[in-house]
Chains A and B, each alone.
Chain A
Amino acid sequence: MAVKWNKDIDAALAAGKAHNKPLLINFSAAPA
């Protein structure tokens, strides 16, 4: 299953709280 990546942490935190879902945050410095 493909992961749908978000770039807005605050929106994701709000959605996680609203839907009672955990949140994964990937911090990267890899070249695009």
Chain B
Amino acid sequence: MAVTAHIKEHPAYFHRFDVLWTPTVLILDANGIERARNEGYLPNSEFRAQLEMGLARIAFMHKQWVEAERRYTEVAERYPNTSAAPEATYWKGVSRYKVTNDHSALSEVADELKEKYQGSVWALKASIWLH
């Protein structure tokens, strides 16, 4: 489902969803709860990656861990050179941990982030899981 709201046609929608800048893209779950917000233009691959991150986030927030891991893995694999990739890598590890309760899932993604995305904040967040 996709909705477009133009500032001149539907200013009330902007107020309702606290949108102060365009373009802004929101992803809501089926219950209408905002799960992702992207403010500002993005090139095609970055935009697609962020949309798929939103769907992964919905699965994660609904505690659908297997589905979340699958979606985060897809983002990391399909868009390895985007800003979404290190975040997706982090959350695939968290999702895996939620399924298995095995801490090695976290240390594995920490190693992966250190190797592939050393300068990212997600590598820093995962650094506590390094051996």
Please report B residues at the A interface, Cβ cutoff 8 Å: 1-10, 13-14, 16-17, 19, 22-32, 35, 51, 54-55, 58
Bound-state CA distance A15–B3 (Å) is 12
Q: How large is the interface on A (under 10, 10 to 19, 20 to 34, 35 or more residues)?
A: 20 to 34
Q: Are A25 and B5 CB-contacts (below 8 A) given A7-B10, A16-B32?
A: yes
A30, B60: Cα distance in complex, Å: 33
16 contacts between A and B (CB under 8 A): A4-B2, A5-B4, A7-B3, A9-B13, A17-B30, A17-B31, A17-B32, A21-B30, A23-B28, A23-B32, A25-B2, A25-B26, A26-B25, A28-B7, A28-B23, A32-B6
- The 5 A-B residue pairs with the shortest CB-CB distance, nearest first, are A29-B22, A27-B24, A29-B7, A23-B28, A25-B26
